[in-house]
Chains A and B, each alone.
Chain A
Amino acid sequence: MSDSKAIFLKDATVNAADGDQRAFIRKALGGYYTNRDLQKARYRDWERARDAASMAKWSAVNDLANVLEKFTANFERNGGVVHWARDAAEARAIILKIAEDNKAKAIVKSKCMTSEEIHLNDALEKAGYGVVESDLGEFIQQLRGEAPYHFVFPCMHVKREAISELFTKHLGTAPTDSPEELTMIARRHLRQLYVDADIGITGANFLVAETGQISITENEGNARLTAALPRIHIALSGIEKVINHLDDLSVLLPMLATAGAGQPMTCYNTLYSGPRKKGECDGPEQFHLVLLDNARTRLLADPEQRDALHCIRCGACLNVCPIFKNIGGLAYGTTYQGPIGSVITPHLRGLKQWNHLSGASSLCGACTDACPVRIDLHHHLLHNRRNAAKESPTLFDRVFHHGFNFVIKRPWLFATGGRIFRATLPLLQKLPIPYMGAWMKTRDLPKAPASSFRDQWKNDHV
């Protein structure tokens, strides 16, 4: 068993048994479902909108080289600097070098999952820079020393009392149980940090090839501040974020907000085309964009699952996923949690170590229905299972399925085996048979009937 699987099983077992925490997560998501349905109802045809959104991403991803070339040419024409990183280490080195070249001290970040993927904060802190996450959820997680629980709602699992305690401990503020007051504490604390920071680091939701702009979606205004006040702006983005046309955003931005957060539009959707222009009164002097591969091209090379690169990181698949809701985001041990994480992590980090996430699914398909860009998520879990079985089959699976196949190939053996199974079921239930015992621990099996359907049918139809 891989280490990551052992940790997953342990954490999932603990979390799945924590009824209070599970109820808390379900309650937290309750408002999302209501708002999402209200917003979706405003679409004159949500399914057609999904068509358009998925085609916008499909056409860019399947022409990635050309679209990226066009984007970077336009981005550079606007005065930005493009950096290319094959992997996480290269991306970290590029960002560290920019900081060093500019004698930076303080760095403020807005929410960027790609930076979690490359473990950027660790690298910056080790190099002696002060790094502050400015998104409220990320700020709380940074203080907790914990990875984000959900890649859109990073601290949705933390109760207000715990946040109050955390702020008292780290910021010296008086305890409060008001989410509003807690938010204001963070607001006041972070304000001066934006003003003092030399570098602002953001992610990017879309890279617009036609105009060379990057699009950043957020609710709090922290990304706006991060890209406005420090003298250097660094954006970090996966190469798959590119889209062809500015107009594609007229579909993608509202759908991202509706699918992911139940909003008509996220509060701030901002397009940056470069550093401060001549005649503009503020904005950074330098604008760097780090474009990251980090195994995305490996996923690209799999035409069956290439559509996973359409992902706009809205989080809708997590919000509807019964696995996510019952085991929580941290149990995954991945940068990207939930169904999309279970699909792409084996490609990004290795199938053998991470296939268990594809196995840990009832394949209910709620994720696929929720995906605004029509990624075939739950079928890709099946594809990962198939690929893993081929690449590194487990002994149990080989014995079990070939044995099962031996039986079902022979109807007489199936019938006889069934007869024996039914007759001995009361006994079998008492034996410590792996898997069956696990099933029986929380559920009863029906009482075995005296005769099977095929026997009864035969008697009726002789």
Chain B
Amino acid sequence: MSDARSDIFARIREALKVKAPKPHLKGEPAPGKTSAVAKPWLPEGGETADASLTILAEQLAKLKAVLIRVPDHAAAAKAVADLSSSKGWKKVAYHGHPLTRPIASALTCETWEADASFDKQKLEGCDAGLTTCEAIVAQLGAILVSSASSGGRALSILPHVHVVVAETCQVVPDLGSSLALVQARHGKDMPSMLSFITGPSRTGDIERILVLGAHGPKELYLVLVG
């Protein structure tokens, strides 16, 4: 008996001997790979950095994610510390990074550098996870985290609150730019997980009524420095 793989490939090659017509397109044939080219028919991502920031703020607000803009790193640390005390966080896990360490050390509650000694049970007991990110997509209000930028896979999804610290220069206009950016940054050595986070976790499974915090974080904060 031949193996499944070669059987399936044989079926595919046989099936494709007859060509199928292209779909009926409305416009000119859409270009295939267009990483570097903005796709002028998708939602706008902003032509300038300021325009992108405006779009980002609008998108995040609609997604019920909280954008906290601060002028510098000291202000970022203060903002997160204020958030922590107002919310009464007892334990915060963070990804060890020059952007996050000063913030973590300014917190008065218990903190834990999660990537140093991963323990899923302990992480589950944390109130908040503090991470950096790869990029932020203005067009959609999406934050791109990865197993490299966010202390693995669980830190940005398991705790009830996710706080992302980033610099304004990490904001890119659209999804295509962010994908091109991670390809350029990591090449063939991609982090094993890359995740676009678009607002706090949500579900509409019960009567199509929106509820935040289905399994992932109920609250999402983006602290944008600069």
Are chains A and B touching directly in their complex (CB below 8 angstroms)? yes
Residues on A lying within 8 angstroms of B by beta carbon are 28-29, 31-32, 39, 42-52, 54-56, 58-59, 61-65, 68-69, 77-78, 84-86, 90, 134-137, 140, 153-156, 158-160, 163, 179-180, 182-184, 186-187, 190-191, 195, 211, 213, 219-222, 224-225, 227-229, 239, 244-251, 253-254, 261, 263-277, 280-283, 291, 293, 297-298, 300-301, 303-304, 306-307, 310, 373-374, 376
Residue of A nearest to B95 (CB): A281
> How far does the alpha carbon of A207 sit from the alpha carbon of B18 in the complex, in Å?
24
A90, A136, A281, A374: the one within 8 Å of B23 (CB)? A374
User: CA of A297 to CA of B158 in the docked complex: distance in angstroms?
Assistant: 39
- Contact (Cβ within 8 A) B140 A281: no
The answer to whether A249 touches B179 (Cβ under 8 A) is yes
B51 contacts the other chain (CB 8 A): no
List the one stretch of B4-12, B67-75, B78-86, B104-112 in contact with chain A.
B4-12
The minimal Cβ–Cβ distance linking B144 to chain A, given in whole angstroms, is: 9
Q: Quick check: B193 and A283 within 8 Å, CB to CB?
A: yes
The answer to whether B190 has its CB under 8 Å from any CB of chain A is yes
- Across the interface, do A270 and B194 meet the contact criterion of CB distance under 8 Å? yes
CA distance A266 to B154 in the complex (A): 19
- In the bound assembly, the distance between CA atoms of A69 and B179 in angstroms comes to 22
> In the complex, what residues of B have CB within 8 A of residue A68's CB?
9, 12
Nearest-Cβ distance from residue A80 to partner chain B, whole angstroms? 10
Contacts of B121 in A (CB 8 A): 195
Query: Closest CB-CB distance, A435 to chain B, in whole Å?
Result: 35
Task: Kindly state the separation between the CA atoms of A125 and B154 in the bound complex, as whole angstroms.
Answer: 27
The complex places the Cα of A85 from the Cα of B40 at a distance, in Å, of 40
Dominant secondary structure at the B interface: loop
Q: Does B26 contact A (CB under 8 A)?
A: yes
Instruction: With both chains docked as a complex, state the minimum distance between the C-beta of B184 and any C-beta of chain A, in angstroms.
Output: 11
1/0 per residue, CB under 8 A from A, across B156-191: the answer is 011000000000000000111001100100001011
Q: Which residues of B contact A135 (CB under 8 A)?
A: 205
> In the docked arrangement, what's the CA distance between A270 and B121, Å?
23
For the complex formed, measure the closest distance between the CB of B165 and the CB atoms of chain A, giving whole angstroms: 18
Q: Which residue of A lies closest to B37 (CB)?
A: A247
- Cβ of B192 within 8 Å of any chain A Cβ, yes or no, is yes
Q: What are the 4 closest A-B residue pairs judged by CB atoms, nearest first? A: A221-B216, A220-B214, A228-B153, A48-B41
Which residues from chain A contact B124 at a C-beta distance below 8 Å?
A: 191, 195
Give the nearest-CB partner of B40 in chain A: A44
Interface size on B, residues (CB 8 A): 90
The number of residue pairs between A and B whose CB atoms lie closer than 8 Å in the complex comes to: 319
Interfacial chain A residues near B176, Cβ < 8 Å: 247, 250
Cα distance A271–B27 in the bound complex, in angstroms: 30
- Name the residue on B nearest A269 (C-beta): B196
- B contact set with A: CB distance below 8 Å: 3-5, 7-9, 11-16, 18-27, 29-35, 39-44, 59, 62-63, 114-116, 118, 120-121, 124, 139-142, 147-148, 151-154, 157-158, 174-176, 179-180, 183, 188, 190-209, 211, 213-217
CA distance A278 to B48 in the complex (A): 38
The verdict on A264 contacting B43 (CB below 8 Å), with A282-B120, A293-B11 known, is: yes
* Nearest chain B CB to A26 CB, angstrom units: 11
Q: In the complex, which of the residues A180, A248, A272 contacts B211, with contact meaning CB atoms closer than 8 Å?
A: A180
Interchain Cβ contacts under 8 Å between A and B, 17 examples: A29-B208, A44-B42, A44-B44, A47-B26, A52-B41, A55-B32, A213-B194, A219-B214, A220-B214, A224-B153, A239-B8, A239-B12, A247-B34, A297-B8, A300-B15, A301-B15, A303-B19
Q: Which of B5, B7, B201 has the most chain A CB atoms inside 10 A of its CB?
A: B201
Cα of A194 to Cα of B59 in the assembled complex, Å: 31
Is A84 a contact partner of B215 (Cβ separation < 8 A)? no
In the complex, what residues of B have CB within 8 A of residue A85's CB?
A: 4
Q: Which residues of B contact A263 (CB under 8 A)?
A: 198
